Structure 1
Amino acid sequence: MRSWSKSLIGGVAVALAVAGCAGSGGDTGGDNAQSGPRELTVWLMNGSAPETLTNALHQEFQAAHPGVTVKYEVQQWNGIQDKLTTALASNDAPDVIEIGNTQSPKFAQQRVLLDISADTASFNKDQWLSGLEGSATWDGKQYAVPFYAANRVVLYRKDMFEQAGVTAEPTNRAEWLAAIEKLKAKFGSDKDFQALYLPGQNWYSLLSFIWDEGGDIATQDGTTFKAALDSPQAKAGLEFYKELVEASGTKAPKDADEQTPEQAGIYGGGKVAMIIGLPWEVATAAKSDPKITELTGAFPIPGKAGPAPVFQGGSNLAIPANSKDQDLAKEYIKLISSAKYQSEFAKAGMIPGTSTDLSALEAGGPASAAMAKSSTNGKGVPATPGWATIEAGQNPLKDMLTAYLTGAKSIDQATADANAVLNEAFAG
């Protein structure tokens, strides 16, 4: 699924049911194409595309293809894994589907998606979002097209920064820690104040620090992955996470993530100067305090010498191998991935997956502008079918964080144990 947030976007990957090969993955569009009036079935996920966008898109597509009707069906994230597994193994598959970036490798491995390697130029590959491109590829072949994405930024109270004498947004770790000290000096007498609310299991943010140190979750050799959380670079990222937790004075639980409790609500309570979150969490915070929208600024997650790499969660578009209208499906993806429609996604607050034009996103407010700035340095989780089972269960990165932050395990033991769980999932 889209690995953004369990409750915000429904982006937690669930275990994938084993499905047999439903097709070779070759282009059979010419053989399967129906004659006479044709119906193109499109499945996009709830909340993915504004209705005004899809209405205009479908009108344009149908006008350009007389006799074709787009059967547009909005799907829910809850239960979509099983529904897709069943549909992709049947003889009545939809023609275009949206799939989360953590779902893509598993379906590609099963060869239930069409190999579109020969068509990528028509889908604007030269403008694809690099953070999603890896998840759309398997074993050297292209099975999906990046659709759109989002990444985390630091959301902060401009009024608190001003009162604390923080005159510029931090651009590196040292400046970030210095700003935290100034905030604590100004507001620390309030026992409820937190310079940065940072839960112990915010593994999305941890990845920024690991990548900034030059580490990674795993190394890849072809289609084989090996966990690498015990590398010196990954450990350095984990150590900075602990330093940030201790420096910030956060009261967030060390054994829960940013949704337990919902961090946007904590931020909206007026006692927190910063959170690491997604742009739309500002709107959630505003339910507690409507003024928070105007009071909130944003900047990219700081690294050692500039913005840190960011985890990029999102969705891809794919064509089922059993689609009866693969030729039309390709035309549909070509249209939706055009600059015309990708700019509309940017206006809606998402990073367009197939366009380097971020002007609309940059004009969408401080949080959207910060997200746009970070997007050029986006990364994803290992593009392996095994990742779905990792997020479906108890994510070992969360266990690693809690064990290390609480002192239950040394950094060596915590990373070794997390590696063992990851490697088991990768092998399975």
Structure 2
Amino acid sequence: MGGVAVAAAAVLALAGCAGSSGGSGASGSQGPRELTVWLMNGSAPTALTDALHKEFSDGHPGVTVKYEVQQWNGIQDKLTTALAGNDAPDVIEIGNTQAPKFAAEGVLTDLSADEQALNGGQWLSSLKASGQWDGKQYAIPFYAANREVLYRKDMFEQAGITAPPTSRQQWLDAIAKLQAKFGSDPDFQALYLPGQNWYALLSFIYDEGGDIAKQDGTKFTASLDTPEVQKAAEFYKQLVEVSKTKAPKDADEQTPEQAGIFGGGKVAMMIGLPWEVATAAKSNPELTKLTSGFPIPSKDAGKSAPVFQGGSNLAVPATAKDQDLAKDYLKLMTSAKYQSEFAKAGMIPGTSTDVSALEADPVNAAMAQASKSGKSVPATPGWAAIEAGQNPLKDMLTAYLTGAKDFATAAGDANAALNKAFAG
């Protein structure tokens, strides 16, 4: 989840997997058994799951995998109901921003003792953190993605920009050159940046050394009213102004869909996910070869800004009928053999550091580079409600960018809304 899952559903197309059995052998009671697995639509296509389930069944005689693909729309309520009863699935996928809610409710199995067996040494740190609650590990990384700056190589070349920016100042300089070259066209936008792209704001906040909230044990307190967050908001506003973006200040990157705007051919850059290139190219196939990407630049020259890492985790419900069998399934799914298929599909593997398949493509390579400093949102149960409703960060940005509120007032109001959600 966290901005990744819905888009992932539209793009993932993994190659089939084959090879020797990676199962750890049958566990629990013997005889015919059934393992129920819920994965989300788009997370792992049929080619991968068919191969994995065959290998798992071959390694566990008498076991049938009952595989059910779930839809993201309404999944939180469906999981809440299933996990509260005695007929829960044995393995589930949950968005990384949902994981703390279910962990705190005590409906997930503690997997802390299984970390080493589940390839824990290579877990993506941001997803690992999102699966923790009160010092224990209740969900493990599955896959992830993060945002980058997608740009038109041909426009950069025509504007005399010889290399992608590697600092905020170079980014601003590039915008100035693009405006000088193409600005006479009233429809041109150097950077399409809507007023509520809070994912981009998070990168600027992290880069300034700030955060959304401070943590004390299992308690979180919003921390948007800080100099670091103010500097991040000011840079966001500067980007909006110097790029002369025509994006609405009261909507996010999906309203309207920014990939469609980029596909119109009058935009040089947008901050987005790698697969948005394919969406943009539906209206202009040439964009696939004309577009590349670079990590969101840091204020410190030569560095990239930390990024919000969205993605999914895997977990075993506390009421799963055969937890040992479920853990065997996790061992296979998190093995390098299957995790490598996510990299081939343009996703960041959750339990493997091998991103060589991503590095072969410039757009995916930028995401892989930025993922090394990825972070997740506060690991609090309250974040699930924030994601399901109107994110206070969006309201803060719109109020500040439109001048409806000064920064201190906008940040104070957002803090109050966040703290209410955290307490709930």
Q: TM-score w.r.t. structure 1 length?
A: 0.93
Aligned partner of 1:320 in structure 2 is 317
Partners in 2 of 1:6 and 1:81 — Cα distance?
13
Structure 1 range deviating more: 78-87 or 141-150: 78-87
Report what 1:3 is aligned to: 2
CA distance in 1, matches of 2:144, 2:368: 10
Which whole-Å CA distance do the structure 2 matches of 1:261 and 1:321 have between them? 41
SS of corresponding position for 2:416: helix
Aligned counterparts, 1:23-422, within 5 A: 33-305=28-300, 306-363=303-360, 365-422=361-418
Distance of 1:233 and 1:125 partners within structure 2: 33
- Superposed displacement of residue 408, structure 1: 0.6
Shift of 1:394: 1.4
Percent of aligned pairs sharing the same letter: 75
Q: Is the 8 A contact 1:400 1:414 kept in 2?
A: yes
1:90 Cα deviation from its structure 2 partner = 1.3
Letter in 2 for 1:64: G
Moved segments of 4+, more than 2 Å:
5-11, 32-35
Give the drift of 1:10: 8.0
Q: Deviation at 1:35?
A: 3.8
Please report how far the alpha carbon of residue 390 of structure 1 lies from its aligned counterpart in structure 2 after TM superposition: 1.1
Unaligned runs of 5+ in 2: 11-26
SS at match of 1:77: coil
Residues 169-228 of structure 1: CA distance to partner in whole angstroms, max 9, x if unpaired? 001101100000000000000000000000000000000000000000000000000000
Any conservation in 2 of the 1:46–1:74 contact (CA below 8 Å)? Answer: yes
Offset at 1:9? 5.0
Counterpart Cα distance in 2 of 1:387 and 1:421: 11
Q: CA deviation at 1:250?
A: 0.5
Shift of 1:348: 1.1
User: Secondary structure in 2 aligned to 1:381?
Assistant: coil
Letter in 1 for 2:231: A
CA contact (8 A) 2:9 2:43 kept: no
Whole-angstrom CA distance in 1 between matches of 2:157 and 2:30: 67
The CA RMSD over aligned residues, in Å, is 1.4
Deviations 1:361-380 (A, max 9, x none): 212x2211111111101001
> 1:50 offset after TM fit, Å?
2.2
Kept in 2, the 8 Å contact 1:10–1:77? The answer is no
CA distance in 2, matches of 1:314, 1:265: 23
Tell me the SS of whatever aligns to 2:115: helix
Is this contact kept in 2: 1:40–1:95, CA < 8 A?
yes
Q: Unaligned stretches of 5+ in structure 1? A: 12-31
Answer yes or no: is the 8 Å Cα contact 1:125–1:354 preserved in 2.
Answer: yes
Return the letter of the residue paired with 2:84: A
